[in-house]
């Protein structure tokens, strides 16, 4: 009568790698060529080929570290599970782990880059069934501050004739062709990164006609799947209406889940319904000294913001106001008093309308918050 081990050896013929992987207590399998291997059917012979494929795909990316993920054709993992349960083997690692590890070692040699499972610059996905390698890169979260001239809106907006579908007016782009900070940044960041997939987050906004002065308004751009990961600290984009420039540029460590709050200094040009008396100006100054101001937000709960200081000059009905406000308090409403109280109108006891306002300084209060988890890499 045959004992268990020779029976198993007969049933399970494995390639060298698949045999090595079965760990302590495994019987001595009959070692065969890859194609005849019960578990992998020759897939484990493909690691060099896969590493070369991965290296050639990765060449298009600038990276320092990589991770490797593997997918195997149906049945491979199941056959290894069957073998292990039949022979009561724990195995030293799974076929997936071994495949990923072997490719990673070869890829490290070919590219001279390091492996980093937690926060790799690029992730290589190897589909052993399809004999394909694909590479995706970790997004870059670019922080910067922009300044802009009048006549440039902050965001790129949809074409108002076609609402994004693409028409003659927008030359098929679906977007308003007038210059925007976002449009200028997309072009620049696109050039630096080799990616055109971006998501913008702004710390507040202003009007198209507002100028934003140094040090500029902070923003964060998530650049998805970038080819290149290094961005200049400073750059500019010349538009017909003037220069949009970026300074303080840097890459954030990961996706911000909490933005800092901020306050800003604004210079407002306003017109009152009646002539402003000097007493009115003095009243503005004294009324708005770290003053809480209520903003009845439409579709939202009322909020209280602080006005830190106001100084004002008047010539007849024309008013020049400088003020420091909490982020999120709309300048025009603070002047007119619509949904905001107290307001410039309320204190001066006359209707005042904001003509234009510029942003002269944005100060961040607090820090960005980052999540603990890193960008999703496949676990092997």
Residue 204, number of CB atoms within 10 A of its CB: 20
CA dist., res. 340 & res. 50, Å (int): 63
DSSP assigned state of 123 = E
C-beta closer to Zn ion: residue 167 or 360: 167
Stretch touching Zn ion by CB under 5 A, among 36-44, 121-129, 287-295, 301-309: 36-44
Please say whether the beta carbons of 39 and 31 come within 8 A.
no
192 to 211: interface string for Zn ion, x by CB under 5 A:
--------------------
C-beta closer to Zn ion: residue 17 or 220: 17
CA dist., res. 263 & res. 366, Å (int): 11
Task: Kindly state the smallest distance separating residue 44's Cβ from Zn ion, in Å.
Answer: 4
DSSP assigned state of 151 = T
Question: Judged by CB under 5 A, which of 8, 12, 15, 192 binds Zn ion?
Answer: 15
Q: Supply angle C-alpha 48, 49, 53, rounded to 5.
A: 115
Per the DSSP assignment, residues forming a β-bridge with 251 are 142
Task: Kindly state the smallest distance separating residue 150's Cβ from Zn ion, in Å.
Answer: 25
Helix (H) / strand (E) element for 68: namely strand 65-71
Q: Supply angle C-alpha 136, 100, 107, rounded to 5.
A: 65
Residue 158, number of CB atoms within 10 A of its CB: 14
180 torsion bin: left (phi>0), alpha (psi -120 to 50), beta (else): beta
C-beta closer to Zn ion: residue 82 or 322: 82
CA dist., res. 120 & res. 103, Å (int): 16
Task: Kindly state the smallest distance separating residue 157's Cβ from Zn ion, in Å.
Answer: 11
Task: Kindly state the smallest distance separating residue 168's Cβ from Zn ion, in Å.
Answer: 7
Stretch touching Zn ion by CB under 5 A, among 40-48, 84-92, 341-349, 352-360: 40-48
CA dist., res. 101 & res. 110, Å (int): 14
Catalogue the E-assigned strands of 85-121.
114-115
Please say whether the beta carbons of 307 and 297 come within 8 A.
no
- 37 near Zn ion (CB under 5 A): yes
132 to 171: interface string for Zn ion, x by CB under 5 A:
---------------------------x-xx----x-xx-
CA dist., res. 124 & res. 105, Å (int): 13
Task: Kindly state the smallest distance separating residue 159's Cβ from Zn ion, in Å.
Answer: 3
C-beta closer to Zn ion: residue 99 or 340: 99
Task: Kindly state the smallest distance separating residue 208's Cβ from Zn ion, in Å.
Answer: 19
- 126 near Zn ion (CB under 5 A): no
C-beta closer to Zn ion: residue 26 or 170: 170
Stretch touching Zn ion by CB under 5 A, among 7-15, 137-145, 211-219, 224-232: 7-15
Query: What are residue 47's phi and psi, to 5 degrees?
Result: -65, -35
- 76 near Zn ion (CB under 5 A): no
Task: Kindly state the smallest distance separating residue 229's Cβ from Zn ion, in Å.
Answer: 34
Please say whether the beta carbons of 369 and 351 come within 8 A.
no
Task: Kindly state the smallest distance separating residue 19's Cβ from Zn ion, in Å.
Answer: 8
Nearest to 318 by CA among 276, 347, 280: 276
Question: Judged by CB under 5 A, which of 40, 83, 184, 223 binds Zn ion?
Answer: 40
Kindly state the number of chain residues that form the binding site for Zn ion, as judged by CB under 5 A: 12
- 18 near Zn ion (CB under 5 A): yes
Question: Judged by CB under 5 A, which of 44, 54, 102, 272 binds Zn ion?
Answer: 44
> Which parts of 264-283 interact with Zn ion (CB under 5 A)?
none
User: What residue ranges bind Zn ion (CB under 5 A)?
Assistant: 15, 18, 37, 39-40, 44, 159, 161-162, 167, 169-170
């Amino acid at each position: 009568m045959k004992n268990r081990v020779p029976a198993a050896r007969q049933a399970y013929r494995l390639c060298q790698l698949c045999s090595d992987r079965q760990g302590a207590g495994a019987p001595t399998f009959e070692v065969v060529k890859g194609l005849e291997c019960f578990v992998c059917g020759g897939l484990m012979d493909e690691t060099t080929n896969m590493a070369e494929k991965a290296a050639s795909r990765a060449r298009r990316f600038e990276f320092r570290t990589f991770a490797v993920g593997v997918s195997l054709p149906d049945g491979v993992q199941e056959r290894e599970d069957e073998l292990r349960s039949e022979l009561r083997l724990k195995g030293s690692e799974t076929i997936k782990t071994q495949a990923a590890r072997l490719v990673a070692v070869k890829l490290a040699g070919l590219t001279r880059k390091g492996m980093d499972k937690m926060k790799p610059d690029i992730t290589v996905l190897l589909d052993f069934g399809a004999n394909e390698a694909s590479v995706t890169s970790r997004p870059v979260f670019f922080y910067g501050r922009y300044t802009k001239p009048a006549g440039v809106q902050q965001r790129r907006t949809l074409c108002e004739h076609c609402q994004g579908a693409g028409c003659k007016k927008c030359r098929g782009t679906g977007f308003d062709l007038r210059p925007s900070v976002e449009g200028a940044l997309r072009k620049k960041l696109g050039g630096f990164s080799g990616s055109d997939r971006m998501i913008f987050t702004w710390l507040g906004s202003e009007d198209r006609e507002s100028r934003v002065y140094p040090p500029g308004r902070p923003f964060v751009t998530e650049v998805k799947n970038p080819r290149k990961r290094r961005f200049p600290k400073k750059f500019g984009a010349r538009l017909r209406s003037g220069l949009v420039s970026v300074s303080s540029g840097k890459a954030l460590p990961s996706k911000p889940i909490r933005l800092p709050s901020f306050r800003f200094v604004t210079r407002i040009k306003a017109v009152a319904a009646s002539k402003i008396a000097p007493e009115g100006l003095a009243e503005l100054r004294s009324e708005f000294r770290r003053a809480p101001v209520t903003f009845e937000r439409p579709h939202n709960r009322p909020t209280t913001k602080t006005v830190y200081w106001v100084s004002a000059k008047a010539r007849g009905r024309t008013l020049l106001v400088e003020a420091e406000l909490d982020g999120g308090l709309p300048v025009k409403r603070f002047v007119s008093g619509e949904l905001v109280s107290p307001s410039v109108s309320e204190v001066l006891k006359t209707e005042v309308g904001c003509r234009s306002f510029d942003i002269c300084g944005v100060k961040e209060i607090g820090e960005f918050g980052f999540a603990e988890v890193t960008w999703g890499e496949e676990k092997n």
